[in-house]
Amino acid sequence: MHVHVFAYGSNLCTARLKARVPSAEPIAVGHVTHRQLVFHKRSEDGSAKADARWTGVEHHRVWGVVFRIADVEKPILDECEFLGIGYDETEVEVVHESGILRSWLYQAREEAIDDSLLPYDWYHDFVVSGAREHRLPTDYLARLKSHAVIPDPDEERSRQNRAVIESLID
């Protein structure tokens, strides 16, 4: 059995997601409506992570990828995403070129939101790299690339994540 998960943040990078849940396979590029991508979910490391914030505005869209993962691996991904602590999950309809797919989406919990935070540069690069990998719309990619970031004060963590990103580009 499998489940569908809509990735819109750092999990857009197939290699990063497969490192967490090896069965992950991208099956559709698409978007969810009534949502905006924001970086305001407070992380344990003090930075902002991505959120597909509900706005209720029809023309708002978050682009991403539906991945099929083995249902036995879903609890692993839930733990990586701090389900019930940092994120909740909600079922969404993902619009893609062949129709609509129902999928799970991780959404920041209200108590985990801090609009004063920015993402670390390496985290943001995972998001942008995944958006490029899956050929998300050019205007959406441009908005992603223009988002403000901050350097990670933990040089070792930054170095490790940069190495992963560089290996994805090669």
Indicate if the pLDDT at residue 57 is higher than 80: yes
Structural domains in the chain?
2-169 (3.10.490.10)
SS3 33: strand
Which class for 138: exposed (0-12), middle (13-18), buried (19 or more C-beta within 10 A)? exposed
> Which pLDDT score, from 0 to 100, does residue 169 have?
62
Dump pLDDT digits (tens) for 100-157. 999 999 999 999 999 999 999 999 999 999 999 999 999 999 999 999 999 999 999 9
